[in-house]
Structure 1
Amino acid sequence: MVGAGSPEFSVDASGLSVAVVAARWHEAFMDGLLDGATRALGEAGVNDPTVVRVPGSFELPVAVAHLARTHDAVVALGVVIKGGTPHFHFVADAVSQQLARIAVDSGKPVGFGLLTCDNEAQARDRSGLSGSHESKGYEAAQAAIATAVALRDLP
């Protein structure tokens, strides 16, 4: 089962400055991801995250890099669904690599909420919509703030 073994988080992230960058492509799935991320942040005490919408997943890294300068953590949310051309692979790979680079270069956690799916059914199942088995937006936000709290507590 996908998601089996996921860690349980319970952190107090109040006082952290957190941003969420969400793509607009695949609007229904994005709504589920964004709802999950903001719910996770609220449960952890982050009640007013900065939310920025960008056109698509390819635009996530530039906005995340900008926000990593002024926030303790950033959550990146997007959906890329495989089609009949190699476009899927180029976008998924480029965005994934750049988000990891931004996290390391900035020293700020970047929650990885980029769904890379073979079809819409997989995206629905991971987007946190009613009937979904997983909420990757929720999980990405939890990971980002848990890491930010861990970093905050380091000497």
Structure 2
Amino acid sequence: MASTNKNLSVFSTDELPDISTRCFVILVSEWNTDVTEALFTGAYQTLIQHGATAENIIRGNVPGSYELSLGAQWFAQQDKVDAVIALGCVIQGETKHNDYINHAVAQGLTNVGLNTGKPVIFGVLTPNDQQQALDRAGGIHGNKGDEAAITAIKMIGLKEQVYSKI
């Protein structure tokens, strides 16, 4: 669903798992920092609000969104880590760089999750312009960081459900 029709900060929180002992990594791209810092704040505050402890939230920085996949892999390979939230922003601009970067990052993060069996959440904005990015980083369409954090929590809950039933 397009975020113009949905606020990214409004979601169902029914039956969320206990995350008080879970370790989350929030991986943040340093490109478009006005946007990515707002995404980080949203993700961090959402995790805290739903029971994560500050000492169990690790922040990692990468130079740009393209580097999110490798950074996510390094963190996800650590036994202590339960989920990785990858945050970035690739604005379309005048060239097609966004097509290549966004596809590579989406595929890379998917592969990390599949290879490690841990939730690796795609919290990368792919807007046409700066204003669209700001609208989705705490602006009129909510905060993609909030949504990414809730997604990580829900995926941990789903993993618990799957492994407790088998």
Please report the TM-score for the alignment, with normalisation by the length of structure 2: 0.86
Task: For 2:5 and 2:38, locate their aligned partners in 1 and report how far apart those are by CA, in whole Å.
Answer: 18
Gap runs ≥5 in structure 1: none
* Alignment correspondent of 1:68: 76
Task: For 2:121 and 2:151, locate their aligned partners in 1 and report how far apart those are by CA, in whole Å.
Answer: 6
* Alignment correspondent of 2:133: 123
Does residue 51 (structure 1) correspond to residue 78 (structure 2)? The answer is no
Task: For 2:69 and 2:13, locate their aligned partners in 1 and report how far apart those are by CA, in whole Å.
Answer: 26
Task: For 1:34 and 1:105, locate their aligned partners in 2 and report how far apart those are by CA, in whole Å.
Answer: 25
> In 1, are the aligned partners of 2:11 and 2:147 still within 8 Å (CA)?
no
Does residue 9 (structure 1) correspond to residue 13 (structure 2)? The answer is yes
Alignment counterpart, residue 42 of structure 1, candidates 42, 48, 55: 48
| 1:41-89 CA distance string (max 9 Å, x none) | 1012112200001111001000101111121100000000001111110
Please list, as runs of the form range in 1=range in 2, the aligned pairs for 1:84-123 lying within 5 A after superposition: 84-123=94-133
Task: For 1:68 and 1:8, locate their aligned partners in 2 and report how far apart those are by CA, in whole Å.
Answer: 26
* Alignment correspondent of 2:155: 147
Please report the TM-score for the alignment, with normalisation by the length of structure 1: 0.92
Work out the percentage of aligned pairs sharing the same amino acid.
Answer: 34
Q: CA deviation at 1:105?
A: 1.3
Task: For 2:116 and 2:98, locate their aligned partners in 1 and report how far apart those are by CA, in whole Å.
Answer: 27
Task: For 2:160 and 2:73, locate their aligned partners in 1 and report how far apart those are by CA, in whole Å.
Answer: 20
> In 1, are the aligned partners of 2:7 and 2:141 still within 8 Å (CA)?
no
Task: For 1:9 and 1:143, locate their aligned partners in 2 and report how far apart those are by CA, in whole Å.
Answer: 10
Gap runs ≥5 in structure 2: none
- Count of residue pairs the alignment pairs up: 153
Q: CA deviation at 1:118?
A: 0.5
Quote the RMSD (CA, aligned, Å).
Answer: 1.6
Task: For 1:100 and 1:141, locate their aligned partners in 2 and report how far apart those are by CA, in whole Å.
Answer: 16
* Alignment correspondent of 1:25: 31
